[in-house]
């Protein structure tokens, strides 16, 4: 007699294979669900493996296009960076994967979902908050938090973790070592509309891409070839531990740089300041697993609204791990070469600047007179 | 009969030479003041030129050490970056230069100060707010905002501006083109105390520096050699115009990266979040010329307070325009390898994470139940 | 030969009457424009006075409804309060008045606008930024900043100012002294949709109002009768001076209290936190005169978006200067009495709270272990 | 054989008496700890009751002075208000009570602490985070989250809760109903140094108090007499539930109003803006139980630093639930009556305001020209 049906987020690896078997042992009927978000994987082999391990059904879902459009693009609009450095790769993938998993669970009448994320990490939270938000009655089985499971399998886990965490050089799957990267740059032009890329062109090679998935894939390829987007950081997990993370985000790094540039060119100064604060908030929410929350929803819509005029083309070169902006152009540019030029006065009267400065100084002069500047006695 | 004495911020160039002569013509007695903040300049030639043009006195002031310690170091502590990209080079120099100018003016009994900054830029504001804040009664002569001056000299100015703005390749004085940079990295170790560097060591070459000025100079040299810190951006000036800026900040870029790293390693997560907001505020204030303001003072002291445990060593390599963090160590580290490890449970109970997640989900589940998630209908 | 046409914001008082005459003396053709935003004024007498002083045309514009709907309602949605205390009365009126003035100027082909705001205040800025934003080519004549005018009329101005600033007791036009207010409260019910009031009912008296203007007028009346919304504060003007302000905002104070209440009842906790920050930003922008700016536009739209579920009814009493919330109800309530009750466990497991707390404590315990809590040695 | 010693936060009521007995039943040795933070309680009766129930020791600790100085005063400096309305009474008391409890536990060699806070509330979190932060190895027994306890005692709890939550009129212990308050105001003068009150004088009655505890007690008395500080709100608990709260904070409400006033009078405008943000952060941290956290420590020290010049006297009247500011004076005032006066020009040149406004309009005019103002098409 089955305890019920579980939809398991299955990776094809040893880890979730153990979970699949263990869930069956516990009396559940298991549906294996494998999300394709662009990782390098033999999906058919994974399907066979899941079937051979006793999955009642196997769903292999191609989420690549919706991952780029519904999740990466909003992160680009937000200039999403966690703690000034981390570009949120996995954090953005989790709600995408979880959303489909919940859809499958509802459709298949499964009351349970399960995953292989560990008990000290962020991914368990991102996964589960997504599930609870979109399927409030769901029951979640997190084997790496269940003593009977982890006491039995810990050895194996240790091994896997060991492999991962003691071999950083091998960790990089997408990016070349910058020292081994080509000694000539690639020159690209990326076109934006409403803050998202709509076309990328490799200027010298004449290649161009214009669907979201193709654009992102191509930027990962070019960025990877030139060793762009590797970082080695210490970050603060949501649960309050510091952990070391080694990440590579080649396409994301290019897009962050380029989006910052076209945004600065087309967005009003003060709108940008407000939006910068919202972007930091968005990054924290996504990192912590709150993609599907009212506040993330709200912030995301505000950010999207700010992007209405973020359109134009940016030229850039990619070389030895770096992205260099070469120029930009836009029909919505707020940059007025004449206004800012020394050669042209236009209707700008330099005398106004005197008044502007003196009014700004009213407060400073008063303060000096009345309370003094302690700092000058530093 | 003299109209009074002016202390002129003199650069030795054509621009401020014209101003010197014009001020004399207008009936002022002129003291030329030339600040050495590390720029490449023949100071003695400048002295002779100022004397020959009729300066009553010439002060050449070596501000290099105080520039690094009193101005650059606080900016490093703040991770100061304006509009996500600009590292504030000139913005930080202006209050340093202005502070001394005001000291000279007070000492010499001069009621006037003057400068060669133009009427559409930020530097006029940074300069003048510093002067008004520290010498509230001072009178400022800004020739590029006085019609009699600029109508007469505009041609010349145009020429100078033209030279500057139409030759970006030549603009880079400190940094090599990354394409021409060495094909082997330099590996450095930088040691921090209270958030500022106290020592830099070139690991392979065995060179080390330990005074603030030497450290900063050396990092400029190494960064410059490897083409680190070049940017081409559009930024928003305080007066509300967008302008294009091409900057190089080799030493500053290295220090920003390294300080971010040691800070993340030693600073509590939530302190870092509050401090990040203060750092953005600080950057805006400094960019806009408010170094000497009560609020900048306040923010700077708050930031300094946050740095009390930011200490340790960071290893890094510098290569082809990039800075790579290789590792870090600190007696004040908050990173606990054992706590975060999969291998060790310690007194961390993974079951707690279930409660943590479920409590975080209370609100999300309720929201879904009561008002729904519009976003899912994207 | 006329220098051109000026649209003058005319109040009917001595002050702007002097300006009207002076503008004519200077050779302008003057259109008098008098905005009715609900002030107590004999508009027909003002019309005759303007005509007798030589205005070529007189426009008396009833802006009362648009003032409430387009300006006060968004301020209510924002919970707009400047510097924690000031409810922004005049600051909100200025862009409303300026908008129509600019429309008249465009329609009548006038190149100039003028006003009677003084040279140290906020209103000159609010007025002029509105005009520049909506009519960028307009020329503004601000007589109180023109030496020929203010040197001649200063005496008179002094007199007027004196009258205003030395008689605070008389300053209150709308509100009774709370000590003289009725000794029995009025009990109201206010209904909201999308964050704005759609109906007010006086429960005991059976009166109800349901157009924006009627609602606001009625709340001013009831609030005034009970002495609600008087403050005596020191505030910081945009130009950096502190000034003393004595204000009365009876209807606005009731609405602020009631809107805060229905918002807390229907808005998600974390959305509220983000929106609170936007509301503070909005208040500063409006106070400083930036109603018509890209950033205020952006913030206002974000805030409006947050109000979509802010709907329901609030019961309150108004008594002796105070507003007391008695209760609230809403179809969009996020308050779940059962969830929060001690009597009902539902699917809330108290054990989850243990995990929640222990995970929140991970960081605190580590911090204590590694760096200690200086504060405890206070 | 004892399981060990527990220090129980004992209230003298039925609730914690049950816990005391139950803990003994479970095999613990129980120390009863009763904190006197100013509540109305027969402490000696409580001591006898605890002894009779089997407490091995009873500590009755007078924390009144330290509660005011170490906890309430910093909250006053911060203008601490949670969600725009709640003045944080209990939230501030918990870390004070917990700190002493942990001191007793350490001194007495107890490994356990216990409390009577319920499983859905904020107090459990405030209590336990304090304990974990200051005594990281402590073990916490929270009976209302332990099924064996709450299943047995729930009935009783229900009863107690019922009594509390269905009789709001009786809930007010400190404040009179404003309708029944005196019909003549009390007029006070409160003197501040470094942002905290150092003296209160009842102007008419000639009474004055100058120790922190006496000042706070007196303000509670006067505020209570006039019905000041009652609120009925819906708030968001840390765990994400909305709950209804009925609070009275008579002394705190007076102090909040008065501190806001003296702060506005003596603090620079822009320092105030930064500090306002820190105050909101502080309020959230304290509400959520993070008084003893690195970030709260940091924020508290920043706020304290902002208060160095917050000194002077405020005159106020208290009447029928309201606090009216009558005036203020300070040796550190930044209010300059001459500077702001219309009568005196001083070295303020009104023409500067024209330049100030025109420079502020540069961006707005450009924006209108290039992208237009969507808002005007509202």
**A210-237, pLDDT tens digit by residue?**
999 999 999 999 999 999 999 999 999 9
**pLDDT above 90: percentage of residues in chain D:** 83
pLDDT of residue A347: 78
Residue A369 lies in a domain: no
Give how many domains chain B has, as a whole number.
Answer: 3
In a domain, D39, yes or no: yes
| Whether residues C221 and C127 fall in one domain | no
CB count within 10 Å of CB D74 equals 24
Q: Determine how many CB atoms are found less than 10 A away from the CB of residue A160.
A: 15
pLDDT of B92 > 60? The answer is yes
Q: Nearest-CA neighbor of A90 among A294, A288, A223, A227?
A: A288
Given an 8 Å threshold on Cβ–Cβ distance, is B362 in contact with D268? no
Number of H helices and number of E strands within chain A?
14, 12
Distance CA A89, CA A92 (A): 6
Residue C377: what pLDDT?
Answer: 40
Note whether A357 contacts B129, CB cutoff 8 Å. yes
Asked, for residue A159, whether it belongs to a domain, the answer is yes
CA atoms within 13 A on the CB side of A303: 26
Average pLDDT over residues C327-340: 90
Per-residue model confidence (pLDDT) at position B30: 98
Residue among A348, A354, A366 whose CB faces D362 most closely:
A348
Chain D positions touching A370 (Cβ under 8 A) are 332-334, 336
Q: pLDDT (tens digit, 9 = 90+) per residue, A290-343?
A: 999 999 999 999 999 999 999 999 999 999 999 999 999 999 999 988 888 766
At B157 the pLDDT is 60
* Cβ pair D75, D196 in contact under 8 A: no
Cβ-Cβ contacts under 8 Å, D363 against chain A: 268-270
Residue D377 has pLDDT above 70, yes or no: no
- Give the separation between CA C161 and CA C363, rounded to whole angstroms: 59
Which of A119, A144, A166 lies at the terminal end of a domain, its last residue? A166
User: How far apart (Å, rounded) are the C-alpha atoms in residues A96 and D283?
Assistant: 35
- Partner-chain contact B271 D294, CB within 8 Å: yes
Which residue from D253, D265, D232 is spatially nearest to D323, judged by alpha carbons? Answer: D253
Please check the confidence at residue C378 and state whether its pLDDT lies above 50. no
Q: Write the DSSP assignment of D166-221 as a string of letters.
A: T-HHHH-SS---GGGS-SS-EEEEEEEETTEEEEEEETTTTEEE-SHHHHHHHHHH
What confidence tens digit (pLDDT) does each residue in D117-163 have? Answer: 999 999 999 999 999 999 999 999 999 999 999 888 876 665 555 55
Q: What is the pLDDT of residue A161?
A: 54
Say if CB C123 and CB C144 are below 8 A apart.
no
Confidence at residue C343, expressed as pLDDT on a 0 to 100 scale: 67
D296 to chain C, minimum CA–CA distance in Å? 10
Give the pLDDT band of residue C166 (cuts 50, 70, 90). Answer: very low
Do B19 and B158 have their domain in common?
A: yes
Q: Based on the domain organization, do A28 and A158 belong to the same domain?
A: yes
Helix B269-288 / helix D269-288 crossing angle, nearest 10 deg: 170
Lowest mean pLDDT among A309-323, B47-61, D329-343: D329-343
Which residue has tokens 């001072």?
Answer: B138
For chain A, the 3-state helix, strand and coil shares in percent, each to the nearest 5, are 50, 20, 30
Q: Is the CB of C295 less than 8 angstroms away from the CB of A240?
A: no
Task: Report CA torsion sign: D242, D244, D250, D251.
Answer: negative
Residues A31 and A108 sit within 8 Å (Cβ to Cβ): yes
Beta strand D312-319 pairing with D186-193: antiparallel
Nearest CA in chain B to C368: B334
Q: Per-residue pLDDT for C163 more than 60?
A: no
Task: Judge if D238 and D147 occupy the same domain.
Answer: no
pLDDT tier for residue D166 given thresholds of 50, 70 and 90: very low
Residue-level pLDDT at B167: 80
A128 contact residues in C (CB cutoff 8 A): none
Range A274-299 average pLDDT? 98
Q: Are residues D28 and D95 in the same domain?
A: yes
> Are A159 and A194 in the same domain?
no
Between CA D378 and CA B300 the distance in angstroms is: 42
What pLDDT is stored for residue B376 in this prediction? Answer: 41
B189 CA: distance to closest CA in chain C (Å): 24
On whether the CB atoms of residues B350 and A150 are closer than 8 A, the answer is yes
Q: What is the pLDDT of residue B213?
A: 98
- The answer to whether position C148 is within a domain reads yes
Inspect the interface and report whether the beta carbons of D348 and C133 lie closer than 8 Å: no
Nearest-Cα distance to chain D for A271, in Å, is: 12
pLDDT recorded at residue B337 = 82
| Same domain for B8 and B156 | yes
Please tell me which residue, C157 or A166, carries the higher pLDDT value: C157
Burial state string for D334-356 with b = 16 or more CB within 10 A and e = fewer than 16: bbbeebbbbeebeebbbbbbbbb
Question: Taking CA atoms, what residue in C is nearest to A241?
Answer: C363
- pLDDT digit string (tens) for C42-56? 999 999 999 999 999
**Mutation site for C-interface testing, chosen from B272, B308, B355 by largest number of C Cβ within 10 Å:** B355
Q: How many CA atoms lie within 13 A of B294 on its CB side?
A: 30
Distance CA B67, CA B69 (A): 6
Lowest-confidence range among A75-79, A249-253, B167-171? B167-171
| A292–B326 CB contact, under 8 Å | no
Indicate yes or no: CB of A294 within 8 angstroms of CB of C305.
Answer: no
Q: CA separation (Å) from A90 to A87, A96, A169? A: 9, 10, 19
Residue C242 to residue D335, Cβ atoms within 8 A: yes
pLDDT band for B89, please (50, 70, 90 cuts).
confident
In contact, C101 and C1? CB cutoff 8 Å: no
Q: Is the dihedral of CA B142, B147, B153, B157 positive or negative?
A: positive
- Cα separations (Å) of A42 from A11, A13, A39, A47? 10, 11, 9, 9
Q: What is the pLDDT of residue D180?
A: 94
SS (H, E, C) D230-246: EEEEEEECCCCCEEEEE
A370/D334 CB distance under 8 A: yes
User: What percentage of chain C exceeds 70 in pLDDT?
Assistant: 93
Question: What CATH number did the domain enclosing D270 receive?
Answer: 3.90.1260.10
Determine whether C300 is exposed, middle or buried from the number of CB atoms within 10 Å of its CB (0-12, 13-18, 19+). Answer: buried
Same domain, C20 and C135: yes
Average pLDDT over residues A356-377: 79
Q: Give the span between the Cα atoms of C11 and C57, in whole angstroms.
A: 15
Q: Which residues of C touch B268 (CB under 8 A)?
A: 363, 367
Spatial contact of A15 and A112, defined as CB atoms under 8 Å apart:
no
Cα–Cα distance for residue pair B378/A143, rounded to 1 Å: 32
Least CB-CB distance to C362: which of A240, A273, A299?
Answer: A240
Size of chain B, expressed as the number of residues it contains: 378
- Of B104, B131, B166, which residue constitutes the final position of a domain? B166
Least CB–CB distance from A354: residue in D332, D355, D370: D355
pLDDT in tens, C230-249: 999 999 999 999 999 999 99
Q: Are C305 and A302 in contact (CB under 8 A)?
A: yes
Q: Which residues contact D360 (CB under 8 A, 6 or more apart)?
A: A356, B240, C125, C129, C289
Smallest CA–CA distance, residue B151 to chain D, in Å, is 20
Give the full edge-to-edge strand order of the sheet including D4-9: D57-62, D28-36, D4-9, D112-114, D139-141
Spell out which residues of chain C touch residue D290, defining contact as CB-CB under 8 Å.
364
- Band of residue B2 on the pLDDT scale cut at 50, 70, 90: confident
> How distant is the Cα of A9 from the closest Cα of chain C, in angstroms?
24
Range C252-270 average pLDDT: 98
Do residue D356 and residue A355 have CB atoms under 8 angstroms apart? yes
pLDDT confidence band for D374 (50 / 70 / 90): very low
Note whether C358 contacts B352, CB cutoff 8 Å. Answer: yes
DSSP-derived letter for residue D82 is B
What is d(CA B192, CA B209) in angstroms, rounded to the nearest whole number? 13
Residue among A22, A30, A21 nearest A2 (CA): A30
Q: Which of C303, C291, C6 is nearest to D364 (CA)?
A: C291
How many residue pairs bridge chain C and chain D with CB atoms within 8 Å of each other?
265
DSSP state of A70: I
pLDDT (mean) for B233-249: 95
- Which of C144, C300, C356 lies at the smallest CB-CB distance from D239? C356
pLDDT (0 to 100) of residue C370: 81
Select from B326, B364, B367 the residue whose CB has the most chain A CBs within 10 Å, as the one to mutate to test that interface.
B364
Put simply, the answer to whether C362 touches A239 (Cβ < 8 Å) is: yes
| Interval D316-332: pLDDT, tens | 999 999 999 999 999 99
Choose the closest CB to C239 out of A240, A302, A362. Answer: A362
| Interface mutation target, options C311, C350, C359, chain B, most CBs of B under 10 Å | C359
> Could you read off the pLDDT of D259-312 as tens digits, one per residue?
999 999 999 999 999 999 999 999 999 999 999 999 999 999 999 999 999 999
Where do we find the tokens 């991952």? A67
Average the pLDDT over D6-30 and give the result. 95
Closest listed residue to residue C93, CA positions, set C120, C40, C119, C130: C130
pLDDT of residue C373: 60
Tell me, what CATH number does D93's domain have? 3.40.50.620
d(CA B333, CA C145): 59
Share of residues in chain C with pLDDT > 90 (%):
83
Q: What is the mean pLDDT of residues B126-134?
A: 97
Does residue B252 fall inside a structural domain?
A: yes
Cα–Cα distance measured from residue A192 to residue A331, given in angstroms and rounded to the nearest whole number: 11
Give the mean pLDDT of chain D.
Answer: 92
Place of tokens 């027909």: C44
- For residue B151, the tally of other CB atoms under 10 A from its CB is 10
Contact C85 D134 (CB under 8 A): no
Q: Tell whether the torsion through CA atoms of B253, B256, B259 and B261 is positive or negative.
A: negative
Instruction: Look at residues A31, A44, A22 and name the one whose alpha carbon lies nearest to residue A4.
Output: A31
Whole-angstrom Cα distance, residue A321 to residue A341?
Answer: 34
Six token digits for residue C186 = 């009025």
B42 and B110 fall within a common domain = yes
Mean pLDDT of B255-261: 98
Q: Is residue A272 part of a domain?
A: no
- pLDDT at residue A2 in the model: 86
Q: B11: distance to nearest CA of chain A, Å? A: 19
Query: Looking at the structure, do residues B26 and B152 belong to the same domain, yes or no?
Result: yes
User: Is the CB of residue B352 less than 8 Å from the CB of residue B212?
Assistant: no
Closest residue by Cα to residue D278 from A375, B289, B281, C79: B281
Angle of helix B294-306 relative to helix D294-306, nearest 10 degrees? Answer: 150
Residue A23 domain-assigned? yes
Element (H, E) at A86: none
What are the tens digits of pLDDT across the range C81-100?
999 999 998 899 999 999 99
DSSP state of A291: S
pLDDT over threshold 70, residue C338 = yes
Give the tens place of pLDDT for each residue, A140-159.
999 999 999 988 887 666 55
In this structure, what are the phi and psi dihedrals at residue A233, rounded to the nearest 5 degrees?
-135, 165
Q: Which residues of B touch A239 (CB under 8 A)?
A: 353, 356
**Which chains have at least 3 CB atom pairs separated by less than 8 Å from chain C?**
A, B, D
Same domain, D193 and D283: yes
Q: Distance, in angstroms, between B169 CA and closest chain C CA?
A: 35
- What backbone torsions phi and psi does residue A134 show, to the nearest 5 degrees? -95, -15
Positive or negative, the CA dihedral A101, A102, A103, A109 is positive
Q: What is the pLDDT of residue B122?
A: 96
Task: Examine residue B337 and state whether it is found in any structural domain, yes or no.
Answer: no
> Which residues constitute the domain of residue A257?
178-267+309-329
Whether B234 and B244 have beta carbons less than 8 Å apart is answered as yes
Last residue of a domain, one of A166, A198, A214: A166
Give the integer Cα–Cα distance in Å for D96 and D252: 17
Query: What count of other Cβ atoms lies within 10 Å of the Cβ of residue D299?
Result: 28
Q: Rounded to an integer, what distance in angstroms lies between the CA atom of residue B26 and that of residue B16?
A: 15
Same domain? For D92 and D208 the reply is no
């Amino acid at each position: 007699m089955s305890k019920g049906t579980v939809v398991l987020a299955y990776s094809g690896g040893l880890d979730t294979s153990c979970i699949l078997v263990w869930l069956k042992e516990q009396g559940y009927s298991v549906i294996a669900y494998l999300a394709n978000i662009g990782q390098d994987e033999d999906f058919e082999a994974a399907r066979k493996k899941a079937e051979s391990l006793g999955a009642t059904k196997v769903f292999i879902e191609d989420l690549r296009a919706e991952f780029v459009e519904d999740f990466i693009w909003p992160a680009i609009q937000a200039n999403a960076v966690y703690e000034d450095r981390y570009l949120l790769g996995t954090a953005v993938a989790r709600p995408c994967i979880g959303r489909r998993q919940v859809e499958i669970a509802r459709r298949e009448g499964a009351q349970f979902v399960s995953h292989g994320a560990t008990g000290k990490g962020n991914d368990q939270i991102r996964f589960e908050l997504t599930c609870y938000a979109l399927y409030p009655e769901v029951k979640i089985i997190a084997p790496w938090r269940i003593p009977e499971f982890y006491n039995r399998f810990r050895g194996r886990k240790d091994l896997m973790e060991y492999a991962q965490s003691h071999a950083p050089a091998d960790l990089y799957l997408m990016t070349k070592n910058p020292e081994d990267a080509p000694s000539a740059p690639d020159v690209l032009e990326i076109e934006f509309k409403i803050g998202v890329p709509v076309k990328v062109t490799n200027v010298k090679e004449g290649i161009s891409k214009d669907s979201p998935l193709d654009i992102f894939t191509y930027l990962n390829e070019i960025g990877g070839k030139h060793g762009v987007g590797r970082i080695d950081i210490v970050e603060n997990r949501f649960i309050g531990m510091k952990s070391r993370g080694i990440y590579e985000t080649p396409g994301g790094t290019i897009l962050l740089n380029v989006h910052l540039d076209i945004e600065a060119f087309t967005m009003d100064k003060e709108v940008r300041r407000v939006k910068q604060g919202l972007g930091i908030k968005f990054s924290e929410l996504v990192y912590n697993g709150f993609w599907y929350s009212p506040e993330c929803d709200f912030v995301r819509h505000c950010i999207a609204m700010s992007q209405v005029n973020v359109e134009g083309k940016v030229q850039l070169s990619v070389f030895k791990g770096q992205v260099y902006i070469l120029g930009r152009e836009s029909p919505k540019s707020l940059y007025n070469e004449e206004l800012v030029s020394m050669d042209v006065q236009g209707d700008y009267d330099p005398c106004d600047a005197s008044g502007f400065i003196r009014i700004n100084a009213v407060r400073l002069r008063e303060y000096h007179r009345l309370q003094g500047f302690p700092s000058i006695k530093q």
